[in-house]
Structures are given as C-alpha cells and as structure tokens.
Amino acid sequence: MFTERVQSRAAKREATRLRVLSSAERLFREQGFGSSTIRQIATDAEVSTGTVMSVGDKDALLVAIFDTWIAAVHHGREAGHGRDEATPLPPAAAARKVLDLVEPFISYFALDLELSREYAAVIVRGTHESEVFQALAGALLSELESLLARTPLTATGAGAGARTLYFAYLGILMTVGNGALDQRGAISQFQEVIQFVVDREGTQR
C-alpha cells in the first residue's frame, strides 16, 4: 500500500511537470522566450507559480523542453533496436543511416531558431545542465558506434568515428541555434563529416 501511494505521488508529480513544460513550450513559441513569464506559465498550466518554480526557472524549463523531446526520440528508437544490428552495411548505406539518426534533431533546432538560440545561450552560460550532454550523449554515441561497427571500420575506428560524429553533431546544433546555419546547410555539413568517417575503411585495415 505504501509503495502504491509513493508511485501515485511520483506519477502525479511527473504529470504536473509535463503539463508545466507543455505550457512553457507553447508560450515560448507563441510569444517568445523573453516575453513569457513564470506567472503566465502557471496560469496556462493551472498550477501555482511555486509549482512552476519547483520544475525550474525559465532557463531550466527551456533545457527540459529540449531534453524531453530528444529523449523521446531515443526511447522510440530503443523499441526497434536490434532488428538489423548484425547486418553488414556498405559505407553509403551507413552514411544514410547515420544521417537518419541525427536529422530529426537538426530539424527540431531549425524549427524555431529564436528558441534554439536561447537554448544554446543557456548551455554556453553553464548555469543549467542538459541531459543532451550526459545520459542522452551516451545513448547517441552508442547508436552511432553500433552503426559504424556494421561497416568495414575496425572496432577502434567505429568508436573514434562515433565520437567524431557526436562532437560534429553538437557543434552543428549549436551553430544552427546561433542562426549561422540553416537546416539545409547543417545537414549538408554533417553529411560531409559522415562521409569523412565512413570512407575511412580503406585506411583501417
């Protein structure tokens, strides 16, 4: 009985957190990050300002919005993980699959450049930690390495290639967030990095 009550309270807290994040995202996108207030978010979510602040200040809410969406993409992929993981991949097919992994995130950042710019600024300030650079980083690195392991790259090459792609991905996301690259340019530049990595099989033997 006690465990059920604890689980019920935890589920209620999570539902409230998601409602706050949903209201915050809608207001941030509709009227801008700078123009939105904690009070407005509380009113929209039908909670107190204290409840909103228990989820986080505006910067923390913004980071959580991005992290929650990115995490959902990763969790969705886990459901289908393992179906073809042993099938060898020629470089061209591997490059396409790597781009398929990363393209949703580039597109998400390009969806609202103003909000992405605010997110990038929060990350650069270092006042709020993002799961994108922690648990979600591990998830993406693992996905990338699993893909590259199916190419002619050696195990060492696959690990190094995954790290190269991951850091290129972070740099491109931040560049898109700063408005220096549009979606098409970002995808084009990441394709160049992918090609550089997957075409190295000839030097890995």
Per residue of the chain (205 residues), what is the pLDDT tens digit? Answer: 545 555 588 888 899 999 999 999 999 999 999 999 999 999 999 999 999 999 999 999 999 999 988 888 887 776 555 555 668 888 889 899 999 988 998 888 888 988 988 988 888 888 888 887 787 788 889 889 999 999 888 889 999 999 999 999 988 888 887 778 888 899 999 999 999 998 865 444 4
If we measure between CA atoms, which residue out of 112, 122, 105 comes closest to residue 168? 105
pLDDT of residue 5: 58
CATH no. of 57-203:
1.10.357
For residues 42 and 33, what is the distance between their CA atoms, to the nearest angstrom? Answer: 15
pLDDT of residue 200: 67
For residues 99 and 93, what is the distance between their CA atoms, to the nearest angstrom? Answer: 10
Give me the residue spans of the domains in the chain.
Answer: 1-55, 57-203
For residues 199 and 188, what is the distance between their CA atoms, to the nearest angstrom? Answer: 16
Residue 196: what residue type?
F
Task: Note the pTM of the prediction, 2 decimals.
Answer: 0.80
Instruction: Determine contact, residues 134/204, Cβ cutoff 8 Å.
Output: no
pLDDT of residue 4: 54
pLDDT of residue 1: 58
If we measure between CA atoms, which residue out of 60, 28, 23 comes closest to residue 44? 23
Q: Which CATH class for the 1-55 domain?
A: mainly alpha
